[in-house]
Amino acid sequence: MKHKIKLMLSFAKRDFQERYVGTGLGQFWYILSPLIMIFIYTVIFSDFMKMKLDIVDSKYAYSIYLVPGLLAWTSFSTTISRLNNSFFDKANLIKKINIPMYIFHVSILLTELFIFFISFLLALGFLLIIGHKITFVFLLLIPIMILQMIFSFSLGVIFSLFSPFFKDIREFIPIFLQLWFWMTPIIYMREMIENKYPFLLIYNPFSYFSSIYQDIFLFSKVPSIDKILIISSMSFLFLLLAMYLYKKMISTIKDII
């Protein structure tokens, strides 16, 4: 077990270092990418378009609403996409080295979790710069982010297990994620759809995560027990399903990749 944990950490470190290998700025892009995203949405929506939310007394209210949802979605979609392609990306390595495939899956999870934490730390820096209050409630972001990563990891692994059998899944996932993004109140307010399309909130797992992030960033609001129970049960149920499918399917997958 100790050897496998070392392997996971080693592959995660390698994955982190290789992402921007060959670029001029190297690993600095991990910081630069979310910084650019925060800057663009702050300047465009708050300064140029003068978009405001009346619910918070700040000219940056819309940016404060927008940034956590966008950063969380970026992490969510990237994790699923990378895991979905993992069997194809690592096929040569899997054939050469006798290592359980879940080592690669978990190494991707660790890399994306680390990048997710970096992006949210930068978002908190943005709040400090504009003078928005940060309270102890923000510490609740840590378990929520971990639950989100468990959920995205589980979904990504499930998709990856079916991708070698149905190669269309690889093309379908990016489109599916785009549709999912626009069905989630990240860019727009949830009040715009809650009466006309309530099912988009009730049956949309990511809407629970995004609303928790937005409430913490805007109001320092403690998430309700209901929401915590929903995202926790959802994350661990999908994790159990992913583990079950992995055990059932992995030996067949190794024969066909």
How many residues does the structure list for the chain?
A: 257
User: Average pLDDT in the 194-204 region?
Assistant: 88
Q: For 125-135, write each residue's pLDDT tens digit.
A: 989 988 888 99
- CA–CA separation, 126 vs 129, rounded Å? 5
How large is the average pLDDT for residues 77-102?
82
Q: Which two tokens stand for residue 187?
A: 């860019």
Please identify which residue in the block is written with the tokens 């785009």.
178
Q: Which amino acid is at 245?
A: L
Kindly state the DSSP code that residue 46 receives in the 8-state scheme. I
C-beta separation of 63 from 136 below 8 A? no
At 55 the pLDDT is: 65
Task: For residue range 12-33, list pLDDT tens digits in order.
Answer: 777 777 776 666 666 777 777 7
Q: Are 210 and 69 in contact (CB under 8 A)?
A: yes
Lowest mean pLDDT across 28-37, 80-89, 118-127: 28-37
Strand, helix or coil for residue 195: coil
Quote the DSSP letter at residue 44: I
